[in-house]
Structure 1
Amino acid sequence: VSKMTITSRPLQDHASGGENDINSAMQLTLTAGKVGDLKPTSGSHGTRIEVRDLFFATPARLKFLKSDRAETTAVGDVVRRLAMAYPEVGFSLTSEGRRSFAVTAEPDVSDTSRLNRLAGVMGQDFGLNAVPVSAERETEKGYMCLKGFAGLPTFNRATAQMQYLFVNGRPVKDRLLNGAVRGAFQDFLARNRHPAVALFVDLDSSEVDVNVHPAKTEVRFRDPGLIRSMIVGALRTALAEAGHRASTTVADTALRFFSVPSYGLGSRGERPSAPPMLDMTQPREVDGQQGGFAQISGYEAPPHAGEAQISEDQTGQAEMGGSENLTESLVSYPLGLARAQLHETYVLAQTGDGLVIVDQHAAHERLVYERMKEDMAAKGVERQILLLPEVVELDSTETDRLMARSKELAEIGFVLESFGDGAVLVREIPTLFRSADVKQLVQDLADEIAELGAALAIKEKLEEICSTLACHGSVRAGRRLNSTEMNALLREMETTPHAGQCNHGRPTYVELKLADIEKLFGRR
């Protein structure tokens, strides 16, 4: 459909020199699919592919092209995806005489080199906020491997445009893979937010069919359930290992909102009035309401946590009460020592090298949710026996799929029995679904199993309900906490998985380094 010229020259010929060095490159021309003769030519080492007069032989197809700008954007997207898949290869894209994209070849295909390449394509912010993802599963033909990087939940986007998926080095857009990514981040993001990931799946060619789409952007796996479980498991493991780490860009964004006030003269030359002095002669004790965080969470605060209070010595200088060792040990905690509560919503804590600001509602929401999941894993899903068993009519194929998974479904609270041809009898459901439409729930479950080949979707729905309950059952903004409760909150955050973000992907805390604070005051 075009006039294509391929010019290639091996790397070793570039250093050979000599009389025939200029002719060491070879050129091949293809015109409308017809291969021309292979000819010697001049050229630098490497391969250059040049395409001209696209669809010159089929003008009808030419009319379906979009604007030059849109097509240039599409070409750029293809080149960027190829660059992500092959970090050991350098790429350069020039349009209308202007270089729009260029990355140099990485020395190897290690995790560091791949992350460098991904940061070069997806942006340096992704590189700073990415966690490595890795997994391996055994198949009949050998092994399937998953490598890549995922952005922290707090590094999320409004669209799924920063989700890049590759199968055997080929960029793909696959519903199964996208669904697996969405399922893995179910606990961490609101429905209208999307994670940033770059995942690379390698497996035997017999395990995947790449010929189900003309552009080969969609694939069909022989065992889609295994692929999905591998991706979901690897992503959740990677996020769990990240602990309470939050996006580094959150603090950077916060610092940009600070402005240094001008204390120059007023419009008439007079000096502005100074702000009122705070009375520091009396300590200001913040009393928590009865039944504060320590009681709600079921967490017992560490001994002496937060007992330090502000006192005034005879010289009028405020000092922290308690032993110096106690203060130093508390400040050495990752989230520091609680110093104050701001607007009955934010906990201010001092760390060894800066300041941590915690959103008490978002943080406690994550803690409650993780505790609910632990209880569910330890005690199993609570079931509710239906007073009148529900008969749900399905087609025979859907019925067979459900009954084949009946054991898995029972583990998550659904007790189903076959009820003749094309129907199932529902005897028990998870208690969390007691208000749901049972028939619609079973139909949705059958559809999910048909698409994904697993009952993971219902687990995600259970977790979604737990997330909602955690949101309503956590400490609200506007709740006054005392120092013991604030420190108990910080200590539990340090030991709870995913404590860096709430269930909707928002950060639970922001950390400002002392060096950045000093810059605000011109000390650096």
Structure 2
Amino acid sequence: RPVKDRLLIGAVRGAYADMLARDRHAVLALFLQVPASEVDVNVHPAKSEVRFRDPAYVRGMVVSGLRHALSTGDQRSAQAPTASAMAAWQAEPIAPPPPSASQGNIFGQPWRPEPRVSEAGLAWRGYEQSVMAPLSARAEVAAEPVADAAQHPLGVARGQISNTYIVAEAEDGLVIVDQHAAHERLVLERLRSAGAGQGTAPSQALLIPEVVELEEAACDRLEEAAGKLAEFGLALERFGPNAMLVRAIPAALAKGHPAKLVADVADDLAANGDALLLGEKLDLVLATMACHGSVRAGRTLSVAEMNALLREMEVTPRSGQCNHGRPTWVKLAHGDIEKLFGRK
């Protein structure tokens, strides 16, 4: 019979937290088998609710099971532009310029100006020559050939738009990458690997340890999680009742602000009170740390840096979505580009 259970709904949302945007909801079939003695089906008069004897255990089992299932899917799941987005790209017809008075007929004869050379004309000719010159003569950096789709499905970087989006040419189309969102996911997965026992994240020791003043409850939570945070490269010590001492931060965050990072981590540990397990709270912490250590929008990247980002995305799980569930890249297939120009 259909039932409503906030625990299961919250567990599903927690598992999909970094895979779906907040305004999206997962559609899935979840088969949960527990002993009859572990669930009370008579908690509601209409039998529309159930209650588990150990809700924390059930939530942890559901979250870990769903995340394991999601990890076996497509790692890069790209998104194609929607039909409405494609329609917005359609070029509007350009109206012909209005006739000028100087181009009219005088006494029935068209006016023909005397040919003369002007500075503007010379400048235009120089511009034409530079534009029409062979690409090899104008290119600042030798362009790499388009990579094989099987070897490098995200293609080869060709440039940036607004120092925010990477434009890459793939064998089957054009790839546009949100550099901040993509790098944020890469940093998160590195930190997750360290927390899963696949090594300790490299840290950067502070020359002068920084004291961060917080509320006593926040310091208690940070002290409790200090051992796990150290695996991610964040070394903290208690420094009195209302302060924490920061001795090291993750190497990826070496240019960040330790005080702001520690305050954000404390907020994440306090999120939702006891509704989230420590593991889920630490996942929020990792997302915060990844945001602090990722490439920002507006930063100019070299071609080598852009290609390095693309290569790492190709081998990183869940690189198709940022830590908030939004897409990190989209692809315009050759067919879509041909439609934009009326070739198909």
| TM-score tier after normalising by the smaller chain length | 0.5 to 0.7
1:279 aligns with 2:159: no
Secondary structure of 1:349 counterpart: strand
Relative to structure 1, the CA distance from residue 253 to residue 370 in structure 2 (aligned partners, 3 Å threshold; closer, same or farther) is farther
Q: What CA distance in whole angstroms lies between the structure 2 residues aligned with 1:215 and 1:429?
A: 54
Partner of 2:193: 374
Partner of 1:350: 169
Q: Match for 1:186 among 14, 17, 21?
A: 17
Q: Report deviation, 1:518.
A: 0.9
AA matched with 2:61: M
The 8 Å contact of residues 56 and 277 in structure 2, kept in 1 or not, is answered as no
Q: What CA distance in whole angstroms lies between the structure 2 residues aligned with 1:503 and 1:260?
A: 34
Relative to structure 1, the CA distance from residue 353 to residue 332 in structure 2 (aligned partners, 3 Å threshold; closer, same or farther) is farther
Q: What CA distance in whole angstroms lies between the structure 1 residues aligned with 2:86 and 2:18?
A: 28
The 8 Å contact of residues 210 and 216 in structure 1, kept in 2 or not, is answered as yes
Q: Match for 1:203 among 33, 41, 58?
A: 33
Q: Report deviation, 1:332.
A: 4.9
Q: Report deviation, 1:218.
A: 1.7
Secondary structure of 1:201 counterpart: coil
Q: Report deviation, 1:503.
A: 1.1
Partner of 1:359: 178
Secondary structure of 2:180 counterpart: helix
Partner of 2:337: 517
Q: Match for 1:261 among 92, 98, 104?
A: 92
Q: Match for 1:463 among 283, 296, 299?
A: 283
Q: What CA distance in whole angstroms lies between the structure 2 residues aligned with 1:344 and 1:331?
A: 28
AA matched with 2:333: K
Higher relative contact order by CA 8 Å / sep ≥ 6: 1 or 2? 2
Partner of 2:106: none
Secondary structure of 1:228 counterpart: helix
1:233 aligns with 2:64: yes
The 8 Å contact of residues 157 and 306 in structure 2, kept in 1 or not, is answered as yes
Q: Report deviation, 1:488.
A: 0.7
Residues 192-241 of structure 1: per-residue CA shift (max 9 Å, x gap): 54432233335367243222123333211244344323321232123322
Relative to structure 1, the CA distance from residue 283 to residue 251 in structure 2 (aligned partners, 3 Å threshold; closer, same or farther) is farther
Q: What CA distance in whole angstroms lies between the structure 1 residues aligned with 2:149 and 2:35?
A: 55
AA matched with 1:338: A
Relative to structure 1, the CA distance from residue 514 to residue 223 in structure 2 (aligned partners, 3 Å threshold; closer, same or farther) is same
Q: What CA distance in whole angstroms lies between the structure 1 residues aligned with 2:86 and 2:271?
A: 46
Partner of 1:490: 310
AA matched with 1:285: E
Residues 215-272 of structure 1: per-residue CA shift (max 9 Å, x gap): 33321124434432332123212332234333646554532331222145346699xx
Q: What CA distance in whole angstroms lies between the structure 2 residues aligned with 1:365 and 1:391?
A: 31
Partner of 1:172: 3
Q: What CA distance in whole angstroms lies between the structure 1 residues aligned with 2:298 and 2:216?
A: 47
Q: What CA distance in whole angstroms lies between the structure 2 residues aligned with 1:226 and 1:437?
A: 24
AA matched with 2:302: N
Secondary structure of 1:197 counterpart: coil
Partner of 1:107: none
What TM-score do the two structures reach when normalised by structure 2?
0.64
Relative to structure 1, the CA distance from residue 185 to residue 499 in structure 2 (aligned partners, 3 Å threshold; closer, same or farther) is same
Q: Report deviation, 1:361.
A: 1.1
Q: Report deviation, 1:349.
A: 1.0
The 8 Å contact of residues 147 and 170 in structure 2, kept in 1 or not, is answered as no
Partner of 2:154: 335
Relative to structure 1, the CA distance from residue 173 to residue 473 in structure 2 (aligned partners, 3 Å threshold; closer, same or farther) is same
The 8 Å contact of residues 80 and 332 in structure 2, kept in 1 or not, is answered as no
Secondary structure of 2:186 counterpart: helix
Relative to structure 1, the CA distance from residue 266 to residue 459 in structure 2 (aligned partners, 3 Å threshold; closer, same or farther) is same
Relative to structure 1, the CA distance from residue 233 to residue 208 in structure 2 (aligned partners, 3 Å threshold; closer, same or farther) is same
Partner of 1:95: none
Q: Report deviation, 1:340.
A: 1.9
Q: Report deviation, 1:463.
A: 2.3
Q: What CA distance in whole angstroms lies between the structure 1 residues aligned with 2:165 and 2:308?
A: 14
AA matched with 1:493: M
The 8 Å contact of residues 380 and 412 in structure 1, kept in 2 or not, is answered as no
Q: Report deviation, 1:189.
A: 5.3
Q: Report deviation, 1:184.
A: 1.2
- Show the 5 A alignment for 1:1-400: 170-188=1-19, 192-203=22-33, 206=36, 207-246=38-77, 248=79, 250-252=81-83, 254-266=85-97, 279=131, 281=133, 282-285=137-140, 309-310=142-143, 327-329=146-148, 332-378=151-197, 379=199
Q: What CA distance in whole angstroms lies between the structure 1 residues aligned with 2:343 and 2:179?
A: 31
The 8 Å contact of residues 76 and 317 in structure 2, kept in 1 or not, is answered as no
Partner of 2:104: none
Residues 165-204 of structure 1: per-residue CA shift (max 9 Å, x gap): xxxxx332211112211221233456x5443223333536
Q: What CA distance in whole angstroms lies between the structure 2 residues aligned with 1:391 and 1:361?
A: 34
AA matched with 1:196: A
Q: Report deviation, 1:359.
A: 0.8
AA matched with 1:236: R
Relative to structure 1, the CA distance from residue 480 to residue 178 in structure 2 (aligned partners, 3 Å threshold; closer, same or farther) is same
AA matched with 1:329: D
Higher share of residues assigned strand: 1
Q: Report deviation, 1:491.
A: 0.4
